[in-house]
Amino acid sequence: MSLKARLLLLIVLLVTVVVTILSAMHLNTVVENWTNGVMERSELVAQQVKSLVLARVQESSATVDPPPATLEESKILWTRIVSEDKLLQQLIQSSMSNSKMIVEIVVASELDEILASSTPAKRGTIMRKLPSFGEWKAKEVTDRIVGLTKGQQDYEVALPLGVPQQKLPIFTIQIVVSSVFLRDALLPQVYRIGVVSAVSLLMSILLGIFSANLAIGPLTSISKELDRIASGGASAPPDPRDDRDPLGKTRELAIVQSKLNLLGQQIRGAQEDVTQMRSNIEGLMERMEDAVFVFDRNDKLAMAGAAAERLLEVPRTGMLGKDMMEIFPASEPLGAVIQQSIRLSRPTQDYLVGLDRNGKPSLRVLLSVDMLADRSGTLITLRDAESRRQLATQLDISRRLSAISRLTGGVAHEIKNPLNSIALRLELLRTRVSEINPDADDEINIISGEIRRLDRVVKTFLDFTRPLDLTVADVDLAAVAREVTALVRPQATMHKVNLQFSAEPESIVIRGDRDLLKQAVLNVVMNGIEAMRSGGNLIVRAALASGACELMIQDEGPGIPAENQSKVFQLYFTTKEKGSGIGLAMTFRAVQLHNGTIEFTSEVGKGTVFRLRFPVSTEAV
Confidence (pLDDT) at 551: 93
pLDDT tier at 480, thresholds 50, 70, 90: very high
Residue 459 banded pLDDT, cuts 50, 70, 90: low
- Residue 413 phi/psi, 5-degree rounding, is -65, -40
Q: Which positions ≥6 away from 260 have C-beta within 8 Å?
A: 222, 225, 226, 229
On the question of pLDDT at 616 being above 50, the answer is yes
Distance between CA atoms of 261 and 256, rounded to whole angstroms? Answer: 9
Higher pLDDT, 254 or 495: 495
214 versus 422: the higher-pLDDT residue is 422
User: Tens digits of per-residue pLDDT, 400-450?
Assistant: 555 555 555 555 556 666 777 787 777 777 777 777 777 777 777 778 877
Q: Which residue has the higher pLDDT, 394 or 197?
A: 197
DSSP, residue by residue, 365-389: EEEEEEEPGGG-EEEEEEEEHHHHH
Which of these, 97, 112, 120, 119, lies nearest to 45 by C-alpha position?
Answer: 97
Task: Identify the band that residue 247 occupies on the pLDDT scale cut at 50, 70 and 90.
Answer: very low
Q: Does residue 608 register a pLDDT over 90?
A: yes
pLDDT at position 309 over 70: yes
DSSP states of 309-342 as a string? Answer: HHHHTS-HHHHTT-BHHHHS-TTSHHHHHHHHHH
pLDDT tens-digit profile of 97-129? 666 778 888 888 888 888 888 888 888 888 888
At residue 246, the pLDDT reads 43
The dihedral of CA 490, 495, 496, 501: what is its sign? negative
Question: 282 CB contacts (<8 Å, ≥6 apart)?
Answer: 303
- Residue 224: alpha-carbon gap to chain centroid: 26
Q: Where does residue 154 fall: left (phi above 0), alpha (psi -120 to 50 degrees), or beta otherwise?
A: beta
Q: Tabulate helix, strand, coil % of the chain (nearest 5).
A: 55, 20, 25
The pLDDT of residue 412: 56
- Tell me, what's the pLDDT at 86? 82
In angstroms, the CA 512 to CA 520 distance is 12
List, for residues 507-563, the tens digit of each pLDDT value.
Answer: 889 988 888 899 889 989 998 998 898 899 999 999 987 678 999 999 999 998 888
pLDDT tens per residue across span 318-355: 788 888 888 888 888 888 888 888 888 888 888 888 77
Ordered alpha helix ranges (H), 437-534: 440-465, 477-494, 514-531
